Copies of this chain bind each other. A is one copy, B any other.
Amino acid sequence: MEFKEAKNKFVQTWGALGSQWGINKTMAQIHALLMVSNEAVSMEEVMEELQISRGNASMNLRALMDWGIVYKEYKAGERREFFTAEKDLDELAVKIARERSKREIKPALKILKEVSSIQSNNTAEETQFIEQTTKLYDFVLKADNVLDKITEYKDNWLTKLVVKFMK
């Protein structure tokens, strides 16, 4: 396999993975492309490499910056903007984890708390509902807290987790 083919395969694969994880395909592809580029990439180049429209490139680059995993760069004497991806994987994973916690887990917790707090009429049905949603609330809360703690380490959290856990 030669370079171009490998690069393309990587971008495609990362894109497909993204869509299984609630991130859209193009967004994941752009991220993949930037991550393996040795220097900052212009919007024009992104459009060219991925064969996408200007609007699409603009919106997804913006979204990636909102996630905090792609940065704008300005080059001296250049009017255009260039983009780079977060390349440190510990940092990348931490940012993704935090963002998903904020966007998905926290709101879900709020709802779980609400629905598990109804007062029961003591039918078997309602008792089961309250019991299960309460358990879910506790579980998700605990998981979210663990995530928080783990990502506090930032550098090498994965390695530290391995060390802590394997012994």
Binding site for B on A (CB under 8 A): 1-3, 6-7, 9-10, 13, 17, 19-22, 35-38, 87, 89, 93, 104, 108, 111-112, 114-115, 118, 121, 124-129, 132-133, 135-136, 139, 142-143, 145-146, 149-150, 158-159, 161-162, 164-166
B133 touches A162 (CB 8 A): no
Residues of B within 8 A of A128 (CB): 36-38
In the bound assembly, the distance between CA atoms of A38 and B121 in angstroms comes to 15
In the complex, besides A3-B121, A17-B108, 14 extra interface pairs with C-beta distance below 8 angstroms are: A2-B118, A3-B125, A7-B115, A10-B133, A13-B111, A36-B132, A38-B125, A87-B132, A89-B135, A89-B139, A142-B158, A142-B159, A146-B158, A164-B165
Residues of B within 8 A of A19 (CB): 22
In the bound assembly, the distance between CA atoms of A139 and B70 in angstroms comes to 19
Q: What is the copy number of this chain in the assembly?
A: 2
In the bound assembly, the distance between CA atoms of A114 and B125 in angstroms comes to 52
Scoring A111, A115, A127 by chain B CB atoms within 10 A of each residue's CB, the highest score goes to: A115
Grouping DSSP codes into helix (H, G, I), strand (E, B) and loop, the A interface class, with mixed when no group exceeds half, is helix
Of B108, B111, B143, the residue contacting A158 (CB under 8 A) is: B143
Of B7, B126, B162, B164, the residue contacting A129 (CB under 8 A) is: B7
Residues of B within 8 A of A158 (CB): 139, 142-143, 146
Scoring A9, A108, A128, A165 by chain B CB atoms within 10 A of each residue's CB, the highest score goes to: A165
